């Protein structure tokens, strides 16, 4: 499977490269994610603005680079956290006595049905209005991570339950294998469930962060928000202005494919 | 006897979830900002009427305990309360929409599963490059539902079923692809392949049965995803279903409707979670 | 089979159109069909389309015209209104309409039990009496003079006595025929409508109206392009441009509307803000400096795609009678803004503005999330104020949470919202300018006026409410405008233009800036092929 390893390494390097290039774009002298060039709204590409400008005349290239780093960091960390939480809860439920697992799953199901929209509104009302955009972004991703785990936890539980009754597991436990060590052996077998959940959560969180902007959370202006740029696509009037609006989504697809490549098993 | 006890346990579990959810929703909605506010207060023509309604609502909802007692008392009589926004019984609002949403979801889930399974089978059994098979699902996951809806509207084709199907299929594909790929790598499968067993027979006799429990687990996940994808799809396309009702109720802080819809959601999730759990052996381990 | 299922799944809109039926959309379900209880925008639209009224306010000429009443007379002291009804009036079910029905309808509106918002417009509804000397005469006695009493009767639909029908039996051009919640309202032509055109043809021309409940602008625009809708009322500027590209004749920009977009600071003394912030917001120099630093031309050009006019006062140029051409306003001038701040004790520390006590000037602007133009304006203003050294955070909330902060807890610093003015007469704005009113946004419900200039505004509003001479009223309002321009409690930004889309097949359209805009003369609208 040498080809697979090469692909994995290449994907990791490409991702790292993207990060470096984005950082470079941001640090370059004269580049700004928030400076409004008001005479050049929705402009096409030019020497000053290689990827054109957005609705307020801000440089799209710099904004995409900034959004990539910001949302990527936030969404990946939040997705990793939520997948880890789902794994933890699923394992706990599978390897605990019946009443504990019953309770855990009950909470899990109830969690899924509650209208968390209102909790998010409450979180916003608790934050001071002058919270900086960066802090608001951090809080948003934290809340998303805290609310995303129940969806996958039950699937992990089922998978772990299946493993629990496998011959090799019964033998190992009889031989004295304990909690933490169980996790070490079980987790690799659960990757078919955990990895897709992680890969699905990343774009979901990027978009969710933008949707939360309607509640006052999300990444505040003037910081660039990747989800916000994706949501520009919902307005057909914007789609006709310039084809550079498709840049954020092209980049996101590329990043998802690279993540897929970087996390695949060989 | 044992089946009876099992059934009672499941029923008790569902009731417990419902109570938890009802209490939780009531508290969340009541204490979220804006419960006792109305945008009409800003308009001189309607401000007076709006304030009268809000005062009445404040009196009704001064104590959460009181609210819960009234809610639960009403349900035992089959009365789900009266909508704060429409001033009609909640049952009347929900009844016509159940069929609409149920139909939408059933079609979307069935189509999504067919699409995802087919694509995953092709992807996992197919030759490299793997990225080619992954690209469509990556694209679909990256497009927000609202943008997908706009593309449908611009193209003049497709509606809520198409959008929901694509959203669900993209997610289901990711899981199915992984599961099936893993199944293809199993020792007995590799051996059978080496011995020249046909792909079709491999799929039918070895791969699909072996991944049964996993696929079932994914079904639950799929239903949960469908429930959450339903709201944006209905709202954007203006489909008069439960999702649109829930969204309007959330924006207008219509507590009775929200609690009723949340209950239905909880029942759906509880039922999905009760699918028979086959504690059979993990064959592919 | 898969493709078939997928294509069947397309969401078609509601029911197919009947011949001669007009169609457009409303944003959400009307709360009520009872014309006396109308308390939201869409119910009001239904009432406008179905209710037979004694007098109609002509939106184009901005004058009151007789409708069901053949003529009307207002006594010199303004306390007695006499209506003479036309002959042979009928309701939509054929029953006769006489003074008895008119009196019953008016009394019902005034009854406290009905809870009609229109009753408040009579100022002392309890003291109003209605007499019917004969079958065609109605005399209304008012305890207090009401300015623009003619327009109030435009909001009272006449219903059959003792038979309130929630719009099913009306004297207006249309009748409510069908209602499917969250889908559509169908109105049917009233065959007994009194109106006739100059050729004697019975009005309304259209056989019916279908109002679809649809809020999504994208859907509405698409369906309009496909010919499903004849009219889009109040088009967002970006969709206006989109439709204009496809067909320039289909869109109308009627120029500035009566509405305003404005920014204001929280001046409530008891608000939960730090004391130094309250000092800033209550300082005239601070507010004027902020006003001077904002580039309104950019706001109009970028946030509204040019379809807005910079505003400095609450009277829009569309308000021909009341607009003050000679108003002195603080125009854009960054250096004057900086000088004003410096004089008030603020100083620049590097790129950060600090007040005299050393606190960095940092505040948030609250706006509502669903309005894309306002979000853009807030971000543009954020950059404009950065030039002064102010650190502005933009927060978008949904309306209930926003209203709670604005009107109940007063927990906000600055707010960017729009105000809709339906009535050009400034008397309709009493609740904004009176300091005791809960809608006196920057410092509502004051027991006594907090500042000298607010006391002066209270006095002047009293003058315009009680004066019988138009010139005196205009003078008072000009003075109010000048005080507001000097003090900047509301920093006016723009008058958004009235933007509409009209299908080329629709005839008889005479769009007016005043609401309801395109279909104020609905009885004269018809589709071309329906001749």
3-state secondary structure B41-52: HHCHHHHHHHHH
What is chain B's length? Answer: 285
Whether the Cβ atoms of residue B87 and residue B56 lie closer than 8 Å to each other: no
C 190-219 residues with CB below 8 A of B? 213-216, 218-219
Chains that touch C (3 or more CB pairs under 8 A): A, B
- pLDDT of B85 reads 86
Gap from C408 CA to chain A (nearest CA, Å)? 14
pLDDT class for A194, splitting at 50, 70, 90? confident
What are the b/e assignments for A37-76, b being 16+ CB within 10 Å?
A: bbebbbbeeeeebebbbbbbbbbbbbbbbbbbbbbbebbb
- pLDDT of C531 reads 47
Rounded CA-CA distance B260/B90 in Å is 8
- Cβ contacts below 8 Å, chain A against chain B, sum to 172
Inter-chain touch A189–B221, beta carbons under 8 Å: no
DSSP C236: -
- C372 touches B: beta carbon within 8 Å: no
Burial class (CB in 10 A: 0-12, 13-18, 19+), A142: middle
Please give the mean pLDDT across all residues of chain A.
Answer: 87
| Element holding A175 (H helix, E strand) | none
Inter-chain touch C402–B34, beta carbons under 8 Å: yes
- B12 touches A: beta carbon within 8 Å: no
Inter-chain touch A234–B269, beta carbons under 8 Å: no
- B158 touches A: beta carbon within 8 Å: no
Task: Please state the rounded mean pLDDT for residues A97-119.
Answer: 87
Inter-chain touch A151–B224, beta carbons under 8 Å: yes
Which has the minimum average pLDDT: B137-146, B216-225, C332-341, C352-361?
B216-225
Taking the alpha carbons of C211, C213, C218, C223 in that order, is the dihedral positive or negative?
A: negative
| Matching residue, tokens 């509409």 | C500
Whether the Cβ atoms of residue A157 and residue A94 lie closer than 8 Å to each other: yes
Instruction: Encode pLDDT of B110-125 as tens digits.
Output: 999 999 988 988 888 7
Whether the Cβ atoms of residue B123 and residue B210 lie closer than 8 Å to each other: no
Rounded CA-CA distance A81/A89 in Å is 12
Instruction: Encode pLDDT of B49-92 as tens digits.
Output: 889 999 999 998 888 898 899 888 888 888 888 898 888 999 99
Backbone angles phi, psi at A37, to 5 degrees: -90, 85
- Taking each helix axis from N to C end, the angle separating C217-225 and C237-246, rounded to the nearest 10 degrees, works out to 20
Chains that touch B (3 or more CB pairs under 8 A): A, C
Q: Which of B48, B161, B244 sits opposite C182 (nearest CB)?
A: B244
- pLDDT of C14 reads 56
Rounded CA-CA distance A16/A6 in Å is 15
Phi-psi region of A130 (alpha: psi -120 to 50; beta: other; left: phi over 0): alpha
Q: Which long-range contacts (CB under 8 A, 24 or more apart) does C347-353 make?
A: C348/C389, C351/C389, C352/C389, C352/C391, C353/C388, C353/C389, C353/C390
> Which residues from B are below 8 Å from C6, CB to CB?
111, 158, 161-162, 165
Could you tell me the two tokens for B202?
Answer: 């491999």
Inter-chain touch C393–A216, beta carbons under 8 Å: no
Taking the alpha carbons of C277, C281, C284, C288 in that order, is the dihedral positive or negative?
A: positive
How far is residue C191 from each of residues C188, C230, C455, C522, measured CA to CA in Å? Answer: 9, 23, 54, 15
Gap from B131 CA to chain A (nearest CA, Å)? 7
Task: Please state the rounded mean pLDDT for residues B207-227.
Answer: 77
Is the pLDDT assigned to residue B282 strictly greater than 80?
no
- Given a cut of 50, the residues of chain C with pLDDT beneath it are 1-12, 530-531
Could you tell me the two tokens for B135?
Answer: 């690209």
> Which residues from B are below 8 Å from A204, CB to CB?
141
Whether the link from the prior residue into C516 is cis, omega within 30° of 0, is yes
Backbone angles phi, psi at B30, to 5 degrees: -65, -40
- pLDDT of C155 reads 94
Whether the Cβ atoms of residue B186 and residue B284 lie closer than 8 Å to each other: yes
Gap from B218 CA to chain A (nearest CA, Å)? 6
Gap from A155 CA to chain B (nearest CA, Å)? 5
Rounded CA-CA distance C85/C80 in Å is 16
- pLDDT of A97 reads 85
Rounded CA-CA distance B268/B109 in Å is 14
Inter-chain touch B238–C216, beta carbons under 8 Å: yes
Percent of chain A with pLDDT over 90: 32
Inter-chain touch A199–B266, beta carbons under 8 Å: no
Rounded CA-CA distance B17/A245 in Å is 44
Whether the link from the prior residue into C204 is cis, omega within 30° of 0, is yes
Is the pLDDT assigned to residue B279 strictly greater than 60?
no
Gap from C173 CA to chain B (nearest CA, Å)? 24
Helix (H, G, I), strand (E, B) or coil at C65: strand
Rounded CA-CA distance C37/A10 in Å is 69
Whether the Cβ atoms of residue B207 and residue B235 lie closer than 8 Å to each other: no
Is the pLDDT assigned to residue A179 strictly greater than 70?
no
Please give the mean pLDDT across all residues of chain B.
Answer: 85
Rounded CA-CA distance B197/B178 in Å is 22
> Which residues from A are below 8 Å from C238, CB to CB?
235, 237-238
- C354 touches A: beta carbon within 8 Å: no
> Which residues from C are below 8 Å from B237, CB to CB?
11, 216, 219
- pLDDT of A112 reads 85
> Which residues from A are below 8 Å from B13, CB to CB?
102, 106
Rounded CA-CA distance B230/B235 in Å is 8
Tell how many helices (H) and how many strands (E) occur in chain B: 13, 0
Rounded CA-CA distance C175/B259 in Å is 36
- pLDDT of B178 reads 84
- pLDDT of A106 reads 87
Is the pLDDT assigned to residue B258 strictly greater than 60?
yes
- Cβ contacts below 8 Å, chain A against chain C, sum to 81
- B135 touches A: beta carbon within 8 Å: yes
Q: What is the CA radius of gyration of chain C?
A: 25
- B28 touches A: beta carbon within 8 Å: yes
Could you tell me the two tokens for C378?
Answer: 């807030």
Whether the Cβ atoms of residue C453 and residue C490 lie closer than 8 Å to each other: no
Inter-chain touch A110–B33, beta carbons under 8 Å: no
Gap from B38 CA to chain C (nearest CA, Å)? 6
| Matching residue, tokens 């204009």 | C244
DSSP A168: H
List the beta bridge partners of residue C82.
C73, C139
């Amino acid at each position: 499977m040498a080809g697979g390893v090469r692909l994995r390494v290449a994907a990791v390097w490409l991702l790292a490269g993207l990060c470096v290039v984005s950082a470079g774009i941001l640090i370059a002298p004269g580049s700004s994610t928030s400076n409004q060039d008001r005479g050049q709204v929705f402009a096409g590409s030019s020497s000053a603005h290689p990827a054109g400008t957005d609705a307020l005349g801000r440089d799209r290239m710099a904004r995409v680079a900034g959004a990539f780093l910001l949302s990527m960091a936030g969404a990946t960390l939040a997705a990793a956290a939520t997948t880890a939480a789902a794994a933890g809860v699923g394992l706990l439920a599978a390897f605990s006595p019946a009443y504990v697992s019953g309770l855990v799953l009950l909470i899990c199901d109830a969690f899924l049905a509650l209208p968390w929209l209102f909790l998010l509104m409450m979180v916003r009302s608790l934050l001071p209005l002058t919270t900086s955009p960066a802090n608001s972004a951090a809080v948003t991703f934290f809340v998303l991570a805290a609310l995303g785990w129940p969806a996958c936890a039950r699937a992990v539980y089922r998978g772990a339950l299946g493993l629990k009754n496998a011959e090799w597991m019964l033998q190992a436990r009889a031989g004295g294998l304990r909690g933490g060590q169980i996790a070490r052996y079980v987790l690799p077998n659960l990757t078919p469930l955990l990895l897709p959940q992680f890969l699905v959560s990343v774009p979901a969180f990027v978009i969710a962060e933008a949707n939360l902007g309607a509640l006052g959370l999300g990444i505040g202006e003037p910081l660039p928000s990747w989800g916000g740029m994706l949501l520009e696509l919902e307005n057909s009037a914007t789609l006709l202005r310039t084809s550079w609006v498709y840049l954020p989504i092209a980049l996101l697809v590329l990043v998802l494919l690279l993540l897929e490549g970087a996390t695949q098993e060989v | 006897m044992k089946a009876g006890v099992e059934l009672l346990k499941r029923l008790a579990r569902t009731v417990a979830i419902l109570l938890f959810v009802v209490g939780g929703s009531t508290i969340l909605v009541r204490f979220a900002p804006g419960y006792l506010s109305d945008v009409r207060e800003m308009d001189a023509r309607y401000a007076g009427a709006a304030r009268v309604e809000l005062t009445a609502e404040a009196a009704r909802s001064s104590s959460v305990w009181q609210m819960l007692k009234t809610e639960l008392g009403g349900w035992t009589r089959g009365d789900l309360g009266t909508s704060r926004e429409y001033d009609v019984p909640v049952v009347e609002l929900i009844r016509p929409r159940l069929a609409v949403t149920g139909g939408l979801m059933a079609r979307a889930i069935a189509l999504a599963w067919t699409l995802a399974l087919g694509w995953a089978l092709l992807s996992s059994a197919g030759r490299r490059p793997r990225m080619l098979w992954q690209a469509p699902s990556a694209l679909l996951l990256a497009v927000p539902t609202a943008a997908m809806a706009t593309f449908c509207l611009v193209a003049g084709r497709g509606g809520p079923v198409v959008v929901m199907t694509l959203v669900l299929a993209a997610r289901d594909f990711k899981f199915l692809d992984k599961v099936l790929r893993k199944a293809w790598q199993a020792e007995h499968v590799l051996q059978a392949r080496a011995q020249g067993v046909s792909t079709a027979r491999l799929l039918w006799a070895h791969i699909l049965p072996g991944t049964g429990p996993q696929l079932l687990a994914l079904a639950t996940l799929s239903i949960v995803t469908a429930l959450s994808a339903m709201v944006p799809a209905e709202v954007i396309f203006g489909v008069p279903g439960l999702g649109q009702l829930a969204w309007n109720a959330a924006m207008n802080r219509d507590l009775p409707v929200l609690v009723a819809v949340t209950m239905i959601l909880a029942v759906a999730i509880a039922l999905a979670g009760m699918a028979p759990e086959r504690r059979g052996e993990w064959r592919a381990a | 089979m898969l493709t078939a299922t997928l294509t069947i799944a397309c969401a078609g809109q509601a029911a197919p159109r009947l011949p001669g039926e007009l169609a457009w959309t409303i944003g959400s379900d009307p709360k009520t069909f009872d014309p006396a209880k109308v308390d939201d925008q869409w119910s009001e639209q239904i009432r406008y389309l179905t209710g037979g009224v004694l007098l109609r306010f002509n939106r184009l000429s901005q004058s009151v015209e007789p409708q069901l009443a053949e003529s009307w007379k207002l006594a010199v002291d303004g306390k007695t209104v006499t209506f003479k009804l036309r002959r042979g009036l009928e309701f939509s079910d054929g029953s006769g309409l006489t003074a008895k029905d008119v009196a019953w309808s008016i009394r019902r509106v005034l009854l406290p039990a009905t809870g009609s918002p229109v009753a408040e417009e009579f100022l002392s509804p309890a003291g109003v009496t209605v007499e019917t000397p004969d079958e065609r005469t109605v005399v209304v006695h008012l305890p207090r003079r009401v300015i623009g009493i003619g327009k109030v009767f435009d909001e009272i639909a006449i219903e059959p006595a003792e038979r309130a029908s929630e719009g099913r039996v009306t004297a207006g051009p249309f009748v409510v025929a069908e209602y499917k919640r969250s889908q559509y309202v169908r109105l049917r032509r009233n065959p007994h409508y009194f109106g006739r055109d100059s050729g004697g043809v019975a009005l309304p021309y259209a056989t019916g109206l279908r109002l679809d409940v649809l809020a999504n602008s994208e859907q509405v625009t698409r369906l309009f392009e496909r010919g499903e809708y004849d009219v889009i009322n109040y088009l967002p500027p970006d969709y206006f441009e989109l439709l204009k590209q496809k067909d320039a004749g289909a869109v109308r920009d009627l120029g500035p509307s009566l509405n305003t977009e404005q920014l204001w600071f929280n001046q409530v003394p008891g608000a939960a803000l730090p004391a130094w912030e309250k000092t800033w917001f209550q300082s005239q120099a601070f507010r004027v400096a902020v006003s001077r630093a904002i580039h309104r031309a950019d706001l109009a050009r970028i946030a509204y795609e040019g379809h807005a006019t910079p505003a400095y006062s609450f009277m829009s140029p569309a308000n021909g009678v009341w607009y003050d051409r000679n108003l002195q306003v603080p125009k854009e001038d960054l250096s004057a803004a900086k000088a004003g701040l410096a004089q008030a004790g603020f100083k620049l520390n590097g790129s950060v503005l600090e007040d005299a006590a050393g606190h960095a000037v940092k505040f948030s602007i609250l706006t509502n999330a669903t309005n894309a133009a306002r979000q853009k304006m807030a971000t543009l203003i954020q950059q404009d104020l950065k030039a002064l050294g102010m650190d502005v955070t933009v927060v978008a909330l949904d309306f209930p949470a926003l209203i709670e902060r604005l009107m109940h807890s007063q927990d906000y610093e600055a707010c960017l919202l729009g105000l809709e003015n339906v009535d050009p007469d400034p008397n309709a704005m009493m609740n904004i300018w009176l300091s005791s009113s809960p809608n006196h946004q920057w410092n509502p419900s004051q027991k006594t006026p907090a500042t000298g200039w607010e006391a002066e505004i209270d006095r002047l509003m009293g003058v315009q409410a009680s004066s019988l001479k138009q010139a005196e009223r205009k003078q008072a309002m000009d003075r109010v405008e000048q005080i507001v321009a000097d003090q900047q409690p509301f920093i006016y930004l723009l008058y958004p233009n009235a933007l509409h889309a009209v299908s080329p097949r629709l005839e008889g359209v005479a769009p007016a800036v005043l609401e309801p805009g395109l279909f104020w003369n609905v009885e004269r609208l018809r589709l071309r092929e329906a001749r």
